[in-house]
Amino acid sequence: MTSEIRVGFNIHPRWVQGTTLRTFLAPLRKAGLSVLEFELDNHINQWEEFEPLMEATINEGLGISFHAAYRAPHTLVGYTTGKQQEIEQDYRPLLQIAENWSIRLGNPHPVVFHAATAPAPHDKGPLIEDTVAFLQWVCNEFSHLRIALENNSVDAKNTVKLGIAHHDVLTLVEKIDHPHVGVCWDMGHDIHGNSPVAIEPEWVNKVIHVHVHDVDNDGLDHYPLVLGKVPYKEWLAKLKAVNMKGVVVLELKGERMKGWSVERITSALAESFAAIAKEVA
Ligand SMILES: [Zn+2]
């Protein structure tokens, strides 16, 4: 049986500046890349270029996936305490983009979400309620989406975050209680210090989407898979074993590669995609 896991990359229009999408993609497609993931955040740099780039990606024959806005000023805080309308107005046009693509392409598309975060100090109870109610609204309002709730990173100075431990993410998924909700396993976020977390079957069975990136010795994450810190091979094998259907997205931050030559970046990307593709084939 061939695997139904595809290999993706979180794209930003910056990556194709000074070149074309086709030229940028050529060596990466050869290495196994077949999906691009887009943030849905109208406050991000070059936002006006995102939708044209989605069109171009589809025209090039690749698939697409989405990451819902999570940076300020976007927030889920207050959804159940007076800000419901405001928050829905903020997210509705952004999520509609993903919904429209799902309808147009005739199959449900994944959208990754982070649970609510708030400046410390803040009680976790209301954050849980905001996250659950908001995602229930998303499920009901956008029936063509697949909601992937991501395990958050730990690095949270002066921030209260939900859904860092797998158990907490699973509890949120259970509370949302909708067949369109699963988990985005961010493998890089599971590396805290030197010991990776234990991976339970309950977790693996709920995964519908993956983010993978490497972590350096200072705990800085979102590098290509060149540091050997994240046991992604072993973890992807677990997903393959349960016939996970979905996309494994190499999720990078461009600033981690500042000072690298274009050649070095391209080969680090291609090697990362080839390494993922080999594991999920
Ligand atoms: Zn992620």
Q: 37-60, pLDDT tens digit by residue? A: 999 999 999 999 999 999 999 999
Sorting pLDDT into bands at 50, 70 and 90, what band is 226? confident
* C-alpha 170 – ligand 1 centre gap (Å): 16
What average pLDDT does the chain have? 94
* C-alpha 221 – ligand 1 centre gap (Å): 10
Give ∠ CA 150-51-211 in degrees, rounded to 5.
20
Q: SS3 helix, strand, coil % of the chain, rounded to 5? A: 45, 20, 35
The confidence score (pLDDT) of residue 220 equals 87
Task: Look at residue 170 and give its three-state secondary structure.
Answer: helix
How many structural domains is the chain composed of? 1
- Percent of the chain at pLDDT > 70 equals 98
pLDDT tens for each residue of 118-171: 999 999 999 999 999 999 999 999 999 999 999 998 867 789 999 999 999 999
* C-alpha 40 – ligand 1 centre gap (Å): 14
* C-alpha 67 – ligand 1 centre gap (Å): 9
The confidence score (pLDDT) of residue 167 equals 96
pLDDT tens for each residue of 231-241: 999 999 999 99
Task: Look at residue 234 and give its three-state secondary structure.
Answer: helix
Q: Look at residue 195 and tell me whether its pLDDT is greater than 80.
A: no
* C-alpha 150 – ligand 1 centre gap (Å): 7
Mean pLDDT of 179-194: 91
The domain of 238 spans 5-280
Total-model pTM: 0.96
C-alpha closest to that of 212 among 256, 183, 250, 265: 250
* C-alpha 211 – ligand 1 centre gap (Å): 5
* C-alpha 52 – ligand 1 centre gap (Å): 23
* C-alpha 251 – ligand 1 centre gap (Å): 6
* C-alpha 162 – ligand 1 centre gap (Å): 14
The confidence score (pLDDT) of residue 254 equals 84
Sorting pLDDT into bands at 50, 70 and 90, what band is 192? confident
* Other beta carbons less than 10 A from residue 4's beta carbon: 12
- The Cα 142–Cα 136 span in angstroms is 10
Judged by phi (left if over 0) then psi (alpha if -120 to 50, else beta), residue 177 lies in: left
Residue 211: give its domain's CATH number. 3.20.20.150
* C-alpha 39 – ligand 1 centre gap (Å): 11
Q: Check residues 170 and 256 and name the one with the higher pLDDT.
A: 170
* Other beta carbons less than 10 A from residue 174's beta carbon: 11
Q: Is the dihedral of CA 131, 150, 172, 157 positive or negative?
A: negative
Question: Identity (one letter) of the amino acid at 62?
Answer: L
* C-alpha 191 – ligand 1 centre gap (Å): 13
